[in-house]
Amino acid sequence: MNTAPAETVRRNRVAITVYGAIRAAITGSPPQTIVFGADLRQAENMNHAHLQALEESLLTTAVRADRERLLALLHEEFVEVGRSGRRWTRAEIVESLADEAERETPPTDEWSFNTLSPTLTLLTYRISGQEFDSRHSSVWDTAGDVPRMRFHQGTPITNDTSLLAEGMSNIIVERPKVVCLCGSLRFQRLFDSERKRLTARGIIVLAPEPVDEEPTASMRATLGELHLRRIDLADEVRVVSEGGYIGDATRREILYARATNKVVSAVEANVVLPTFSA
């Protein structure tokens, strides 16, 4: 009669015990007695099914809007790499999901599981979205009483490079890019056109607004400071101009943006934007 090696028996016991503890913690039911001689592969399959269920729960509005459930599912050292390459921490993700609008849970398929270590499992799968599909990968840590996600990344499946930059991850919602428009309001038509174009790409647009009355010197100063605060909120400053015209106020805003390390771009091709040496 063949006897399983001691290490195999130990792994069987660990895998089955972990699964039983996870099931009891999630369902609230008492741990079930499982025969320790059960095949290790069966225990792994049960564990994979449970990890998939937890991953899919993070796609639901009910879990994403529940701070306590998110904190329970995300490891203290959780990291998300957003589509822009930004690194998101657990606290930042929980805060960003607090105001997310209710949404339908997207369908998933092509699930794959890879054991990285006795307590770490890599999940990969595809999400079918309304506008485009995306591939996702997560690392789950099963060392504790319940599994917790340590890492996540989602990537849109598309040949459209604009979607690669602006597409939205379906597991963790990254803050949309914010662009502040600068320039003379004499180019209001160009402002309106650029605002619509950027908004259609999922970008938040900030821009100066005309006032009904003729502004006094004091009001001009106040409005100027107000626009600098818009720049503070932006990831990028985009200059609206025609014929290369850059007024004094716009020049000040561009130099302020550069001083605060904002990306500065222009709607008009070949326009010369001021620098500190110019």
Q: Quick one: pLDDT at residue 7?
A: 52
Q: Is the per-residue pLDDT at 172 higher than 50?
A: no
- 180-197 pLDDT tens trace: 999 998 899 999 999 999
Q: Report yes or no: 9 and 36 within 8 Å, Cβ to Cβ.
A: yes
pLDDT of residue 251: 93
> Per CATH, the architecture of 40-166 is what?
Roll (3.10)
pLDDT at residue 277, as a whole number: 62
Residue 134 pLDDT greater than 90, yes or no: no
What is the rounded average pLDDT of the residues 82-90? Answer: 80
Distance CA 63, CA 49 (A): 18
Q: Could you tell me the two tokens for 48? A: 């994979």
Instruction: Report the range out of 33-47, 148-162, 194-208 with the highest average pLDDT.
Output: 194-208
Q: Where are the domains of the chain?
A: 40-166, 178-266
Q: Is the pLDDT of residue 168 over 50?
A: no
Alpha helices for the chain (secondary structure H): 6-27, 40-57, 61-64, 67-73, 90-97, 161-166, 188-200, 217-233, 248-259
Average pLDDT, the chain: 80
Asked if residue 119 has pLDDT above 60, the reply is yes
For residues 202 and 166, the answer to whether their CB atoms sit within 8 Å is yes
Running DSSP on this structure, what letter comes out for residue 130?
S
Whether 82 contacts 155, CB under 8 Å: no
**CA–CA dist 276, 201 (Å, integer):** 32
Phi, psi of 92 (to 5 degrees): -65, -40
| C-alpha dist (Å) from residue 271 to 73, 234, 240, 246, 266 | 50, 21, 10, 9, 7
- Four-way CATH pick for 178-266: 3.30.465.10, 1.10.10.10, 3.40.50.450, 3.30.420.40: 3.40.50.450
Are 73 and 57 a contacting pair, CB within 8 Å?
yes
